[in-house]
Amino acid sequence: MANDSKTWRCGKYELSFDRPRIMGVLNVTPDSFSDGGEHFDPDAAIEYGLAMLDAGADIIDVGGESTRPGFTPVNPDEEARRVLPVVRALAKEGAIVSIDTRHVAVAKAAVRCGASIVNDVTGFTDPKMVEFVKTSTCGVIVMHAGEVAAPARTHATVQLDTSAAAFVAEKAREAAAEAAREAEKPARRRRGKLLGDPKPEAKLPGGVVQPSLPFGEPESTSEPASEQETPAAEQTAAAETVAPAPEAASAATEAASESNDRLAAMMRRSARREEAYVPTSQLRRFTLPDSAPIMRRVMGFLSDQARTLIHAGVSRDRICIDPGPGFGKSANEDIVIQRETAKMASLGYPLMCAVSRKRFVGAVSGVTEAAERDAATFGVCLGAIQAGANIVRVHDAAGFAQFLNGYWAVAKPQPRRAFVAVGSNLGHRCDNLRAAREMIAEIPLTCVSNSSKIYESEPAYETRQDAFANAVIEIKTELAPLVLLDELMKIEAELGRDRSKKAKANGPRTIDLDLLWMDGETHGGKKLRLPHPLIGERDFVLVPLEDLMHDPARFFRYNGVEVKEPEDRVGHIVGELGRM
């Protein structure tokens, strides 16, 4: 029930989650990890995006910068050049478009071009990105990107008083003297080892004693120099004392460039298989690390960033969360996170499962090539859906739509209300409508629950033809919208409808079946648009609908359809022809 009650407002669209939603991945990049270069050309990208919509994708996620391990950062101008034509074309076809970017300039431009969602891989840690989305109505996806997602710590400057400064100086002199004494006693230390004397205790800065360990020296926990947080004053002092060698200068330059792009630096380390949180050399008693610290880190960040957005003015029902599999996480951690999907779903936000073709999917399935991991991806996604995930982000949208439709049909009984418009102006018009109604009732997982009266209407769009007989049929169905549409097209073909290219558009026809609306469904693309974009101008649809619902004009206006006044419509009703 919690899953069913969630909604996600994305600009002019509102997504419900009585069914899981499919987000198709569209990488307009030359270097993405599994499909780099395949859709780099804008025309190819647009064609592929439309194909994913027609195959069952609900959302298209357009990205112009690969964030694979070891990726090369792309400047915002180049990223915008790649993605904006694609976003504009898909939005024009009624698609719900998500822009996958961490650059606020690209997000702004994409939303202006019609994008309805901003998918920020850095989790809205950039205040400028927060400032932008609070002024828009787009949906937002908060993703946890490993260590890069944690906001940088800030340290306040503290001025010591005279007595404290003197105390610190005295301690520094004592430490130097102690170091000199230790340097003068190497022979005694060696003799102590030979005689079995206990290992001397090490002194840490500030006089803290490190006790000796029975199994040798403790493993160093110091981080690489490029990742340590060194006070600026100490850096300046060191620079004045020691002149760096050429090799050191080169390393410092590389460290500085990494710090300028923390996400790229983290993913480069990931490419070198340096796992960020769980050392692979450390022995464990269990197959997976403890979930508690991992989930505290991931869920804590997602909750904090969601609250930050809400406090900035972003409404809660615009926020979706994503644990960010593969970003700064080991395979073990990714599995732990996926097993805790129910906990993340309990936060109350729409939850995304974005595991498609990731390295950990290859690790558990034994599939080396990323492009061959779709079957394993579907298995991981199914586990996430059963635990409460609402959106799945996949590369193979067509394959996953088939997979989900098959699973949902047997696992989740869910009849939904829909309306189908029927029309005919060739042959025995009323008999054609009645035959279509009987055939619709025979569609699997579908029943006819009600029908309007049959009306006669003027021809619309192409006026030089005979008048039409029109009606609207109310059905209940458990089929996905595109599957239902295919069944309706089969009925048209059986009743003699010619949909070939040689047929005249909007010309005479034995039968015409249009899927007008389905409960909880919003869809774009060439094959199907829901709600039907021309409902609001068709008198031959709106008048029959009055037999089935109260005030259809108001109903469809609420669903985002522009409804014209009766005198401005096409295909006006001129009379009644009887009942179904």
Confidence of residue 542 (pLDDT cuts 50, 70, 90): very high
Contact (CB, 8 A) for 102 and 122: yes
Mean pLDDT across 137-141: 97
Q: Is the pLDDT of residue 576 over 80?
A: yes
Mean pLDDT across 422-430: 96
User: For position 151, what pLDDT does the model report?
Assistant: 54
**Signed CA dihedral, 405, 410, 416, 422: sign only:** positive
User: For position 221, what pLDDT does the model report?
Assistant: 35
Under DSSP, is residue 262 helix (H, G, I), strand (E, B) or coil? helix
Q: Is the pLDDT of residue 192 over 80?
A: no
Closest Cα partner for 314 from 556, 153, 120, 91?
120
pLDDT: is 277 or 72 the higher one? 72
Q: Which residues lie across from 202 on neighbouring strands? A: 210
Tokens of 406: 């098959």
Tokens of 563: 């409804």
CA 542/CA 557 separation, integer angstroms: 12
Closest Cα partner for 303 from 319, 324, 327?
319
How does pLDDT run across 104-130, given as a tens digit for each residue? 999 999 999 999 999 999 999 999 999
Under DSSP, is residue 215 helix (H, G, I), strand (E, B) or coil? coil
User: For position 148, what pLDDT does the model report?
Assistant: 58
Tokens of 432: 């054609």
CA 107/CA 83 separation, integer angstroms: 10
Mean pLDDT across 55-77: 85
Cα distances (angstroms) measured from residue 215 to each of 57, 199, 211, 225, 450: 57, 11, 12, 27, 80
Q: Is the pLDDT of residue 289 over 60?
A: yes
Mean pLDDT across 289-311: 95
Closest Cα partner for 433 from 447, 442, 450, 421?
421
Confidence of residue 500 (pLDDT cuts 50, 70, 90): confident
Q: Is the pLDDT of residue 297 over 80?
A: yes
Under DSSP, is residue 468 helix (H, G, I), strand (E, B) or coil? strand
CA 541/CA 571 separation, integer angstroms: 9
Residue 192 φ/ψ, nearest 5 degrees: -65, -35
Closest Cα partner for 534 from 460, 465, 436, 429?
460
Structural domains in the chain plus CATH codes: 2-150+286-410 (3.20.20.20), 415-578 (3.30.70.560)
Of 19-23, 180-184, 432-436, the poorest mean pLDDT is in: 180-184
Identify residue 173 by its one-letter amino acid code: R
Of 86-100, 147-161, 402-416, 552-566, the poorest mean pLDDT is in: 147-161
Tokens of 369: 């090539």
CA 333/CA 327 separation, integer angstroms: 11
Mean pLDDT across 200-207: 44
pLDDT: is 233 or 104 the higher one? 104
Q: Which residues lie across from 139 on neighbouring strands? A: 117
> How does DSSP classify residue 147?
G
Residues of the chain above pLDDT 70, percent: 73
Under DSSP, is residue 579 helix (H, G, I), strand (E, B) or coil? coil
User: For position 510, what pLDDT does the model report?
Assistant: 95
Contact (CB, 8 A) for 150 and 127: no
CA dihedral angle for residue 367, residue 372, residue 375, residue 378, rounded to 10 degrees: 100
Cα distances (angstroms) measured from residue 488 to each of 53, 446, 454: 18, 12, 19
Q: Is the pLDDT of residue 59 over 80?
A: yes
Mean pLDDT across 466-489: 97
* Arithmetic mean of pLDDT over the chain: 82
pLDDT: is 425 or 226 the higher one? 425
Q: Is the pLDDT of residue 159 over 50?
A: no
In sequence order, the 6+-apart residues with CB closer than 8 A to the CB of 194 are none
Residues of the chain above pLDDT 90, percent: 65
Tell me the CA end-to-end span of the chain in Å, nearest whole number: 38
Tokens of 309: 């957005």
pTM: 0.77
User: For position 327, what pLDDT does the model report?
Assistant: 87
Of 31-40, 240-249, 425-434, the range with the highest mean pLDDT is 425-434
Question: How many CB atoms within 10 Å of residue 578?
Answer: 12
How does pLDDT run across 360-376, given as a tens digit for each residue? 999 999 999 999 999 99
User: For position 268, what pLDDT does the model report?
Assistant: 59
In sequence order, the 6+-apart residues with CB closer than 8 A to the CB of 573 are 455, 456, 457, 470, 539, 540, 543
Contact (CB, 8 A) for 45 and 86: yes
Identify residue 376 by its one-letter amino acid code: A
